[in-house]
Amino acid sequence: MTQSDRGLRRLAAGTLLVAFEGTTAPDWVLRELEHGLGGVTLFGFNVADPGQVSELTMALRGAGEPVISLDEEGGDVTRLAYHVGSPYPGNAALGAVDDVELTRRVYRAIAAELAACGINLDMAPSADVNTEADNPVIGTRSFGPDAELVARHTVAAVQGLQSVRVAACVKHFPGHGATRVDSHLAIPIVDVDLDLLRERELAPFRAAIEAGAKSVMTAHVAVPVLTGDTPATLSGAALTGLLRGELGFDGVVVTDALDMHAITKSVGLAGGAVLSIAAGSDLLCLGPLPAYDDVQAIIAEIVSAVREGRLPAERLEEAAARAAALREWFGGAREVPGEPDMVGLHAARRAVRLTGATEPLVEPLVIEVDTPPTIAVGDVPWGVGPWLPDAEIVRVEPAAADAPGLLAKAANRSLIVVVKDAHRHRASQELVSALVAARPDATVIEMGLPVWRPASAAYIATYGAARANAQAAVELLTA
């Protein structure tokens, strides 16, 4: 391989954020970092505890200058607390409180934990304006349905993260909130005109850019008036024309995971990588599925695209320069984080809402109505069990649940029914309605968006299913 070939391969590898299985870095990752690999994205399966993550990131930094990223949004989407649930409420709870200083404090606390573990880029916050209640992938990850509210809290989140030199990655550009399709599975469509897009979807991104956000994540959504049938991740009109041109963003553009079906089932993983770089992205998050052979194939395809004239070498060099500027910012003066406080629980307590009145608990039976996890969230524990150690907890599949049997089991006992996004699941609504019709003294705890509620029963809305949300709900229940 000539020096020119090695240089081109290094540029190509520098655009990739790879993933790997396990809690230690494989040899191939360390080797590729020595040869210019852009960095890694960590997932829940890479995390055992903070000490292990620190050792892992130290090993990664020993092989190069990687971007080390993960999704730590607080609330339902957590990686550091993947096995126990986040100690911080997510965006929906923070939006319900609507105190921008509180949002800033929460995200600063998250950043302090990330920085202590060696993470330098947080794929957060979600700046999506969640105008579609049946959105299967955003929901409580959004600050809310109002663009101005989302914009001011997005700015606060960016400021909180970047105050300790953890780069924010504002997502999912140009907005995933008005969709009813999960881009992990297909290409969602945001069918709005440009005026509405600018007024609603783009408002939080514009505010975040003005606040100095270091990176923006693309969405695999199509906006017909802007991108046609092409997802924004692959669209020059979206990334170069709109994001770079109209909005003036000069930081790093990071893709959403390229192993999602919106990309792999349309143009393929390697083809999507080339098209996305050509459209204007700088770092390609590959997602959890691609392995070593896939990474090699992607690098080879990027190199071939340059040699064949399908991808200008200048575009790779531009991406490398932006990534280098980000790494230089990582190394700047860093505030020393203060001691961790109880800001997460404090925020969850301020967010939780009680309608009606609860009664003293008597041998409580807790029925947790199971909700399938989304791909973005993963299988993170949720529920009130840790905070009600003396209660009997029964988790049921709503479509198969035996309501009369559950009611018989709850006879002469306090009945608590816990749901998550009941508005999206007809079987959950039917089960809850049947239970509270027979037991109007029951308490329903909604740990998703409080869109649907039963006609009777005390009702607690947490605006999220994080560990902090659950504790705040139980404190109301037992007050």
Residues designated catalytic: 184, 256
The alpha carbons of the chain give a radius of gyration, in whole angstroms, of 23
Closest listed residue to residue 439, CA positions, set 406, 390, 462, 398: 406
On the CB side of 452, CA atoms within 13 Å amount to 16
443-446 vs 392-396, strand pairing mode? unpaired
Taking every pair of C-alpha atoms in the chain, what is the biggest distance, in angstroms? 80
Question: What is the distance between the alpha carbons of residues 269 and 411, in angstroms, rounded to a whole number?
Answer: 55
Q: Which two tokens stand for residue 356?
A: 């009606």
Q: Are 279 and 173 within 8 A, CB to CB?
A: no
* Cα 1 to chain centroid, rounded: 40
What are the residue ranges of helices labelled H in 117-227? 147-162, 194-196, 202-210, 224-227
C-alpha pair distances (Å), 365 with each of 262, 388, 413, 441: 42, 10, 7, 13
Q: Are 457 and 356 within 8 A, CB to CB?
A: yes
ω into residue 125 within 30 of 0, thus cis? yes
What are the residue ranges of helices labelled H in 331-441? 343-351, 403-409, 426-438
Closest listed residue to residue 246, CA positions, set 202, 276, 290: 202
Q: Are 106 and 344 within 8 A, CB to CB?
A: yes
φ/ψ of 11, rounded to 5, equals: -65, -45
C-alpha dihedral, 414 to 415 to 418 to 423, nearest 10°: -140
Other C-beta atoms within 10 Å of 317: how many?
13
Amino acid at 385: G
Question: What is the distance between the alpha carbons of residues 276 and 279, in angstroms, rounded to a whole number?
Answer: 5
Q: C-alpha angle with apex 235: 285 to 311, nearest 5 degrees? A: 75
Q: Are 117 and 135 within 8 A, CB to CB?
A: no
φ/ψ of 408, rounded to 5, equals: -65, -40
